[in-house]
Amino acid sequence: MNTIDTCHEQVISLEHVGFGYEGQQVFQDVNFTVYERDFVGVIGTNGAGKTTLLRLLVGLLRPSSGEVKLFGTPIQRFKEWERIGYVPQKNSFNPLFPATVMEVVQSGMYNRSRLFRRLTKEDINQSKDALRAMRIEDLAHKRIGQLSGGQQQRVFLARAMVNKPELLILDEPTVGIDAQTQKEFFNLLQHLHEHHHMTFIMVSHDLDLVNSWLGSDPKGTCGKLNFYVKHSHNVECVEPDLTHGVLS
């Protein structure tokens, strides 16, 4: 996808990828590459295949042809899922789900190797930082099922960011979130992209936002999908927390 800048490692590559549901072809022969420190905005009409594309990238769907690679490894052999944060479209918790907001956010820190390990003080500070980034510190001890849809979405975003993933995959992340929080969230994403060596791929219906941030010229197309790409070469911040650059 980003044909100009080859100074960084490949984070995602799709090589001749095809996919269809029960005979209905969604993609054919898709080729693109996302490099470290790219921010990719994916725009397309309803049904164009945006969610399907992201589900292929996180291994929830398998391509019917071609190959998906993450960080240079074919996805069927990829194991380092803690390097990736994913926020699917339209999450919601059953009102009876027993976990608190803090527990849901901290569940983003577990992977197979850490499953039975106690959280360290640093882990706890990191989870508080993610809650602060999404302005939900005051909800930390509430049950997730009792929150509004927009509040729950903020919890999913905090959960995806708690490990400070190298690649963040977002499917219409701010649907249902109020305007002020959306603005703060996009400021945070922008800062993380520009100064924290993170790579992003985000589906959005907000063409104005994508154009104002990533430019009005798509760098690639795949069927009915358009990819807008911005690459960062900015100096990186040394501060480890998520919120230092954007929130007071």
Ligand X SMILES: Nc1ncnc2c1ncn2[C@@H]1O[C@H](COP(=O)(O)OP(=O)(O)OP(=O)(O)O)[C@@H](O)[C@H]1O
Task: Tell me the window of 43-51, 113-121, 123-131, 194-202 that interacts with ligand X (CB under 6 A).
Answer: 43-51
Q: Which amino acid is at 142?
A: K
Site for ligand X in 9-38 (CB under 6 A): 21-22, 26
Among 4, 46, 112, 208, binds ligand X (CB under 6 A): 46
Number of residues that bind ligand X (CB under 6 A): 11
Identity of the residue, 49 or 220, whose beta carbon is nearer to ligand X in the bound complex: 49
- Under the criterion CB under 6 A, does residue 49 sit at the interface with ligand X? yes
Q: Is 51 in the site for ligand X (CB under 6 A)?
A: yes
Contacts (Cβ under 8 Å, ≥6 apart) of 184: 135, 246, 247
Q: Which residue, 26 or 87, is less far from ligand X as judged by CB?
A: 26
Listing DSSP states for 201-232 in one string gives EEE-S-HHHHHHHH-SS-SEEETTEEEEEEE-
Containing 103, the helix (H) or strand (E) segment is helix 101-107
At its nearest, how many Å lie between ligand X and the CB of residue 42? 9
Dihedral, 160, 163, 169, 172 alpha carbons, nearest 10: 30
Residues that bind ligand X (CB under 6 A): 21-22, 26, 44, 46-52
